[in-house]
Structure 1
Amino acid sequence: MNMLGAQGNPCAAAPSRVYLVQLLLLYLLSLFFMGSPQSDPAKCPGSSVAIPYPFTISDNSSIVRTLGFAILCEPAGPMLWLGSKLYTVLNISLDQGYLRVTGDTVYSQCQQNNGLVTTNFLNLVGTPFTFSHTLNKFTVVGCDAMAMIRSGYSYRGGCVSFCASEGSITTGACSGVGCCQASVPEELKALDLEVTSIRSQLQQSPSGSWSNISRNNTSAWCTKAFIADQGSYVFSRGDLDRNLTNLPMVLDWSIYGGRCSDARRAPQTYMCKENTECYTVANNTGYRCNCSEGFRGNPYLQGPDGCQDIDECKDEMEYPCTHKCINTVGGFNCVCSMGMTGDGKKHGNGCRRDTKLLITAGGGLPLLLVLLMLGFWTHWLVKKRKLAKTRQRYFLQNGGMFLKQHMFPQRGPLRIFTSSELEKATDRFSDNNIAGRGGFGTVYKGVLCDQMVVAIKKAQRVDESQVEQFVNEMLILSQVNHKNVVQLIGVCLESEVPLLVYEFITNGALYHHLHNTSVPMPWEVRLRIAFETATVLAYLHMATKPPIIHRDVKSSNILLDESFTAKVSDFGSSRPMLHNQTHVTTLVHGTMGYMDPEYFQTSQLTERSDVYSFGVVLIELLTREKPIFCGKLDEVRSLALHFSTLFHENRLMEIVDHQVAEEAGASHVKIVAQLALRCLRLKGEERPRMIEVADELEALRRLIKQHSVVDPEE
Structure 2
Amino acid sequence: MIVALIAVLVFSARPAATAMQPSETCQRRCGDIDIPYPFGIGPGCHLETGDWTFVLSCNRTADGRHRVYNYKIEVLDMSVRLGQLRIWNFINPWCYNGTTREMNDQNNWWYNMSITNFRINDAQNRFTVIGCNSLAYIRSLNETTDKYMTGCMAMCPAAGRLENGSCAGVGCCQTAIPSGLNAYQVSFEEKFNTSGIANFSPCSYAVLVEAAAFDFRTTYVTTDEFMTASGGQVPLVLDWAIGNQTCEEAKRNASAYACVSSNSECVDSMYGRGRGYLCNCSAGYEGNPYLLNSCQDINECEDERFNYPCSVPGTCTNTIGSFYCSCPDKTTGNAYNGTCEENKSQIGWQIAIGVSSGVVVLIVTASCLYMIHEKRRLAKIKTEYFKQHGGLQLFEEMKSRQGLSFTLFTQEELEVATNKFDERNVIGKGGNGTVYRGTTKDDETVAIKKCRLANERQKKEFGKEMLILSQINHRNIVKLYGCCLEVEVPMLVYKYMPNGTLYRLIHARRDGPRVPFSLRLKIAHQAAEALAYLHSWASPPIIHGDVKASNILLDEDYTAKVSDFGASTVAPTDEAQLVTFVQGTCGYLDPEYMRTCKLTDKSDVYSFGVVLLELLTCRKALNLEELEEEKYLSSQFLLVLGEDRLGEILDEQVKGEQSFELLEQVAELAKQCLEMASDKRPSMRQVAEELDRLSRLSQHPSGRQNSKEILALLGGLPSTTSKVEVSSTKNISSTDTADIGIRSPR
TM-score, scaled to structure 1? 0.56
Note closer, same or farther for the CA distance 1:137–1:144 as it changes in structure 2 (3 Å cut): closer
C-alpha separation between the residues in 2 aligned to 1:280 and 1:698? 55
Bigger Cα displacement from structure 2, 239-248 vs 322-331:
239-248
C-alpha separation between the residues in 2 aligned to 1:531 and 1:664? 23
- Aligned twin of 1:293: 283
Superimposed CA distance per residue, residues 442-499 of structure 1 (whole angstroms, 9 cap, x where no aligned partner): 71335489x9976155xxxxxxxxxxxx9xx456688576869999845769xxxxx9
Shift of residue 698, structure 1, vs aligned partner: 6.1
- Aligned twin of 1:93: 79
Superimposed CA distance per residue, residues 75-134 of structure 1 (whole angstroms, 9 cap, x where no aligned partner): 586634344x34241x43332111122232537588999x99978x32323334332234
- Aligned twin of 1:425: 417
Superimposed CA distance per residue, residues 588-641 of structure 1 (whole angstroms, 9 cap, x where no aligned partner): xx99x9599xxxxxxxx9999x99999887433234144359xxxxxxx97828
| Equivalenced residues, count | 570
- Aligned twin of 1:12: none
Superimposed CA distance per residue, residues 23-70 of structure 1 (whole angstroms, 9 cap, x where no aligned partner): 858997x946x74586xxx572xx4x55444445789xxx99996244
Superimposed CA distance per residue, residues 378-422 of structure 1 (whole angstroms, 9 cap, x where no aligned partner): 669769979999999xx9xxxxx9xxxxx9998558999987443
Instruction: Determine if the alignment matches structure 1 residue 443 to structure 2 residue 436.
Output: yes
C-alpha separation between the residues in 1 aligned to 2:445 and 2:145? 38
C-alpha separation between the residues in 2 aligned to 1:178 and 1:161? 9
Note closer, same or farther for the CA distance 1:667–1:277 as it changes in structure 2 (3 Å cut): closer
Superimposed CA distance per residue, residues 542-599 of structure 1 (whole angstroms, 9 cap, x where no aligned partner): x9xxxxxx9x99632567999955535599xxxxxxxxxxx99xxxxx99x9599xxx
Q: What's the C-alpha RMSD, in Å, of the aligned pairs?
A: 6.9
Contact 1:51 1:92 in 2 (8 A): yes
Q: Equivalent residue of 2:308, what SS?
A: coil
Note closer, same or farther for the CA distance 1:318–1:506 as it changes in structure 2 (3 Å cut): same
Contact 2:134 2:189 in 1 (8 A): no
Identical aligned residues as a percent: 19
C-alpha separation between the residues in 1 aligned to 2:554 and 2:256? 54
C-alpha separation between the residues in 1 aligned to 2:342 and 2:376? 34
Kindly report which structure 2 residues correspond to 1:402-413, keeping only aligned pairs within 5 A, or say none: 411=389
- Aligned twin of 2:503: 511
Q: Equivalent residue of 1:556, what SS?
A: helix
- Aligned twin of 2:125: 136
- Aligned twin of 2:611: 620
Instruction: Determine if the alignment matches structure 1 residue 643 to structure 2 residue 643.
Output: no
- Aligned twin of 1:455: 448
Q: 2:323 aligns with which of 314, 324, 332?
A: 332
- Which amino acid counterpart does residue 127 of structure 1 have in structure 2? T
Q: 1:229 aligns with which of 207, 210, 213?
A: 210
Instruction: Determine if the alignment matches structure 1 residue 81 to structure 2 residue 69.
Output: yes
- Aligned twin of 2:572: none
Q: 1:307 aligns with which of 284, 288, 296?
A: 296
Contact 1:143 1:178 in 2 (8 A): no
Shift of residue 229, structure 1, vs aligned partner: 2.2
Note closer, same or farther for the CA distance 1:520–1:285 as it changes in structure 2 (3 Å cut): same
Shift of residue 329, structure 1, vs aligned partner: 0.9
- Which amino acid counterpart does residue 643 of structure 1 have in structure 2? F
- Which amino acid counterpart does residue 130 of structure 1 have in structure 2? R
Superimposed CA distance per residue, residues 634-691 of structure 1 (whole angstroms, 9 cap, x where no aligned partner): xxx9782863564244133672879999999957844743775x8xxxxxxxxx7xxx
Q: Equivalent residue of 1:103, what SS?
A: strand
Q: Equivalent residue of 2:611, what SS?
A: helix
- Aligned twin of 1:711: 742
- Which amino acid counterpart does residue 261 of structure 2 have in structure 1? K
Contact 2:733 2:741 in 1 (8 A): no
Q: Equivalent residue of 1:444, what SS?
A: strand
Q: Equivalent residue of 2:147, what SS?
A: strand
Shift of residue 710, structure 1, vs aligned partner: 1.4
- Which amino acid counterpart does residue 298 of structure 2 have in structure 1? D
Shift of residue 360, structure 1, vs aligned partner: 12
Shift of residue 256, structure 1, vs aligned partner: 4.0
Kindly report which structure 2 residues correspond to 1:146-295, keeping only aligned pairs within 5 A, or say none: 146-152=137-143, 156-161=147-152, 172=166, 181-186=175-180, 188-191=181-184, 193=185, 195=187, 225-233=206-214, 245-256=232-243, 258-261=245-248, 263-264=250-251, 265-267=253-255, 270-281=258-269, 283-284=273-274, 286-295=276-285
Superimposed CA distance per residue, residues 423-443 of structure 1 (whole angstroms, 9 cap, x where no aligned partner): 333466699x94715599771
Q: Equivalent residue of 1:252, what SS?
A: strand
Shift of residue 330, structure 1, vs aligned partner: 0.8
Larger radius of gyration: 2
Shift of residue 157, structure 1, vs aligned partner: 1.0
Bigger Cα displacement from structure 2, 517-526 vs 320-329:
517-526
Note closer, same or farther for the CA distance 1:309–1:253 as it changes in structure 2 (3 Å cut): same
Q: Equivalent residue of 1:148, what SS?
A: strand
C-alpha separation between the residues in 1 aligned to 2:267 and 2:74? 28
Kindly report which structure 2 residues correspond to 1:534-545, keeping only aligned pairs within 5 A, or say none: none
Superimposed CA distance per residue, residues 241-289 of structure 1 (whole angstroms, 9 cap, x where no aligned partner): 8676423211112344844455554458735423222223264454322
Q: 1:655 aligns with which of 650, 653, 664?
A: 650
Contact 1:532 1:566 in 2 (8 A): no
- Where structure 1 has 5 or more consecutive residues not aligned to the other structure, the ranges are 1-15, 200-209, 396-400, 402-406, 458-469, 494-498, 535-542, 544-549, 572-582, 585-589, 597-604, 630-636, 679-687
Shift of residue 178, structure 1, vs aligned partner: 8.2
- Which amino acid counterpart does residue 122 of structure 1 have in structure 2? Y
TM-score, scaled to structure 2? 0.54
Contact 1:82 1:127 in 2 (8 A): no
C-alpha separation between the residues in 2 aligned to 1:112 and 1:475? 52
Q: Equivalent residue of 1:183, what SS?
A: coil
Q: Equivalent residue of 1:504, what SS?
A: strand
C-alpha separation between the residues in 2 aligned to 1:105 and 1:675? 51
Q: Equivalent residue of 2:141, what SS?
A: strand
Shift of residue 137, structure 1, vs aligned partner: 3.4
Note closer, same or farther for the CA distance 1:263–1:78 as it changes in structure 2 (3 Å cut): farther
Higher relative contact order by CA 8 Å / sep ≥ 6: 1 or 2?
1
Bigger Cα displacement from structure 2, 325-334 vs 407-416:
407-416
C-alpha separation between the residues in 2 aligned to 1:445 and 1:73? 57
- Which amino acid counterpart does residue 655 of structure 1 have in structure 2? L
C-alpha separation between the residues in 2 aligned to 1:300 and 1:143? 46
Shift of residue 514, structure 1, vs aligned partner: 5.9
Q: 2:89 aligns with which of 103, 109, 121?
A: 103
Kindly report which structure 2 residues correspond to 1:327-476, keeping only aligned pairs within 5 A, or say none: 327-336=318-327, 344-347=334-337, 411=389, 420-426=412-418, 434=425, 436-437=427-428, 443-445=436-438, 447=440, 455-456=448-449, 473=452
Contact 2:241 2:276 in 1 (8 A): yes
Bigger Cα displacement from structure 2, 241-250 vs 696-705:
696-705
